[in-house]
Chains A and B, each alone.
Chain A
Amino acid sequence: MSSDVKILDGNTFVVSDNAGDIDASLTDPTGLFSFDTRFLSKWVLTIDGRRLNPLSVDDLQYFEARFFLVPGTGTVYVDAKLSVIRQRAVGGGFHEELTILNHDDKAVDLDVRIEAGCDFADLFEVKDALKKSGDYFQRIDGDRLVLGYRRETFERETWISATAPATVDEHGLTFAVTIAPHGSWTTDLHVATGMDAPGQGVAHPKYERNAKKARPNMARSLDKWLDEAPRLECDWGSLKATYQRSLVDLAALRFSPVALPGHYLPAAGLPWFMTMFGRDSIFTSLQALPFSAELAATTLTALALWQGSQIDDFRDEDPGRILHEQRFGEMTAFEERPHSPYYGCADATPLYVVLLDEYERWTGDTRRVRVLEATARAALDWIDDYADLQGNGYISYKRRNEKTGLENQCWKDSWDSISYRDGRLPGFPRATCELQGYAYDAKMRGARLAREVWKDLAYAERLEKQAADLKRRFNRDFWVQDGEYFALALDADGGQVDALASNIGHLLWSGIVDKNKARKVVRHLMGTRLYSGWGVRTLAEGEGRYNPIGYHVGTIWPYDNSFIAWGLRRYGFKEEAARIAAGILDAAEFFEGRLPEAFGGYPRELTKYPVQYPTACSPQAWSTGAPLLLLRTMLGLEPIGDHLVVDPALPQGIGHLELLDIPGRWGHIDAFGRGTVDVARMGRGRKQLGVLPADAVRPTARPREHKH
């Protein structure tokens, strides 16, 4: 089986084999996809009835690829008289420039064919191998082939056409081609996706209208994105490469919601999760704030548009709740899946308020905070009015959609992620600890916004009082006395779900931990049961369900670690934060700068390299954001009023690090640091380790005069 080639633009993407062909069965995840629907499941090029062999593939950009092919069978040496180049760019369908070169000194007659077909599968059907209930049709409109699918009023069409003369039949396009000696032949193929309502006409793809301009526009938007991001100078080459990789991947993960054309938020993962997710979009926006505030701005605006407004059990919706996931496919359209949108997550709503406040701290954009006041208040109300399922003053979750809703509505959403020490699973509702931290932080930050922007002092005081009460109760009810850490959750009886897990690091980030308990929490985070040498495990070694390659029960998540590092900074544990950063950024070197969603929790001295956990989605947004947040925590960047405070604590081995032109309410600021924190020196990371610069630390921040 040849390896997949993926290119994408927002939620439109093409997955093909390395010859550029698509030949998918229902459950094969290949094809042209847009708005969660497959628009091509067959796209096969033949010359004189034979398929072509790939010589090489260039992934030119995330949105375009070039395939070099030759005819013939799989012999080792190829001595073909023909070569074929397919250059493909995606966007509202895709555009493919097909070129055939004749290397012979004789003219050649060829029968060139593109075989096309489509099953119009919903992404959920591809995942779960479900049958379709509508009807297929094909139509020839002049020189265009139209593939279609209809179920009641639901209609999707794929339009296929070429610039060269072609014979069109219901299964493809055929070209009778004669190529002169040492000559060439070219055609542009257009594949357009249509999902407008019947009688309204099918939307034209970007390329149909403006084939030659689309690609340069996209390239320019990538250049502009890279140009506007802060510049990193550093003597650790791997970190520079990781930073660059993160920026490019984040560009690819940008997703423009239908309602906000030209504005981008981070989708969750590429390519199967190219849609709005409350939790993932918020966490990634938080990670990226020092580098691009636009992602946060769009996330805040888009999530507000879809904020829950009624009680809907099928969608697990309540008034004020922030959505979990939005989808556009057939199963969502016919309410066989609840994603229109689905609201079943318990953390996105408090995190929304956290992001709004953090966004204002960086940008000073009080206008947006005023516009979103009603949204933020409704989110804060949700915490008290709809999330306290047990009436004990804590957020807990229990799905109301028992069929297609999510059981675990926290970030560790797999079935066995929340357990007692002995491995038993609690019933529902479950009040996981990090949710209480987010609620505390949301109330504290909401209070700041109420005081400084909304000018409602009474509301600010009320929120602060509630937060203080929550913090007091939390430190009493969740504290596991005999282990000296916070329980993973409270169960339906209010009992402690007492496994030791990475969630305690999020508690530091939220600020809900009493000062006198913080050191004990840190000791656990950096102890051998949780810390592997690469990072903090999701579940501690020794717990009943611990498994170093278990999804949420022992693997290490870079995103999780980046927020733990932020939490360590918040409580003043700079050196420990530097150690987390060093481990994760060392691991990034092994993954060539692209951190996976998760990797194995094996001890570092055992495996010497981080063991990748197999996942379908790469890059993943919040893993892509992790190095960005770690740069922030290493440099100790903290906006205070109109200033950016810089307080670096870098691992030894980084001689110098400069982050230039950090944008914010201060204009642009440069931050500098030198590595002084002693960290474990293993593996091949940071080759210059141990070289302590002669002039030691000098934290500096220098405001920039110029603006961009």
Chain B
Amino acid sequence: MADVTRQFFEGLAAKGHEPLLESFTGTLRFDLRDGERTEHWYVVLTRGDIVVAHDDGDAEAVMGTDLATFDAILSGEMNAMAALLRGVVTMHGRSILLLAFQRLFRGSVGAGDELRTAGYSRERS
């Protein structure tokens, strides 16, 4: 299960840049509980450039939940905002960083493209 989370962060690190986050700069930390231990992921965001570390540093925005929940969010089984309202996920600090960042969670779902329409204008131009 934890592979989903690891793949997500390692994928981000490998990509190194995210156009959706180009107007954001800051540090984020994800505290993911897994039984007795807590796994930490640390992200330094500089105008869309992303550096990922697997450690526990001071961050401007912190998201906390358990690893299974985070996996479920990344795989599209759980909605992050609803989870936040239920108290399953917590947010502290500069929430705008986390709200901007959470678009990448959903983007990571391998959504089927069956609903994509024909693209009428595109085909004809």
Contacts and interface: CB of A to CB of B under 8 A. Distances in A.
Given A154-B85, A259-B95, A200 B90 contact: yes
A129 interface: no
Contact of A328 (B23, B85, B99, B116): B85
Contacts of A128: none
Contact of A310 (B96, B109, B116): B109
B90 A197 contact: yes
A494 B19 CA distance: 39
Given A153-B86, A309-B106, A384-B119, A341 B81 contact: yes
A392 B82 contact: no
Contacts of A60: none
Contacts of A383: 121
A49 B125 CA distance: 78
A332 B85 contact: yes
B82 A335 contact: yes
Contacts of B87: 153-155, 196-198
Max chain B CB contacts within 10 Å: which of A197, A383, A469?
Answer: A197
B111 A311 contact: yes
Contacts of A355: none
A329 B86 CA distance: 9
Interface in B80-125: 81-82, 85-90, 92, 95-96, 99-100, 103, 106-107, 109, 111-112, 115-122, 124-125
Contact of B121 (A200, A315, A469): A469
A385 B117 contact: yes
A318 interface: yes
Interface in A380-395: 383-389, 391-393
Max chain B CB contacts within 10 Å: which of A335, A384, A389?
Answer: A384
B118 A391 contact: yes
Given A153-B86, A197-B90, A388 B117 contact: yes
A384 B106 contact: no
Given A259-B99, A311-B111, A465-B125, A371 B23 contact: yes
Contacts, number: 104
B121 A309 contact: no
Contacts of B81: 340-341
B96 A340 contact: no
Given A152-B86, A466-B125, A392 B99 contact: no
B9 to A, nearest CB: 18
A225 interface: no
Nearest to B20: A374
A154 B86 contact: yes
Given A332-B85, A393-B120, A393-B121, A374 B115 contact: no
A421 to B, nearest CB: 28
A306 B69 CA distance: 21
Contacts of B25: none
Contacts of A334: 82, 86
A154 B22 CA distance: 34
Contact of A258 (B22, B86, B92, B95): B95
A306 B117 CA distance: 22
Interface string A293-316: 000000000000111011110010
A374 B120 contact: no
A260 interface: yes
Interface in B52-90: 76, 79, 81-82, 85-90
A437 to B, nearest CB: 15
A590 to B, nearest CB: 42
Contacts of B79: 312, 315, 335, 340
Nearest to A330: B85
A470 interface: yes
Contacts of A332: 82, 85
A385 B119 contact: yes
Interface of B: 19-20, 22-23, 76, 79, 81-82, 85-90, 92, 95-96, 99-100, 103, 106-107, 109, 111-112, 115-122, 124-125
Given A330-B85, A386-B115, 15 more contacts: A153-B88, A197-B89, A200-B90, A258-B99, A305-B99, A310-B111, A332-B82, A333-B86, A334-B82, A340-B79, A340-B85, A341-B81, A384-B119, A385-B117, A466-B121
Nearest 9 Cβ contacts at the A-B interface = A333-B85, A197-B87, A393-B120, A153-B87, A466-B121, A371-B23, A259-B96, A340-B81, A391-B118
30 contacts: A153-B87, A154-B87, A197-B87, A200-B92, A259-B99, A259-B100, A260-B96, A305-B100, A305-B103, A309-B106, A309-B107, A310-B76, A310-B106, A311-B111, A311-B115, A328-B85, A330-B85, A332-B85, A333-B86, A334-B82, A335-B79, A340-B85, A374-B19, A383-B121, A384-B121, A385-B119, A389-B117, A466-B124, A469-B121, A469-B124
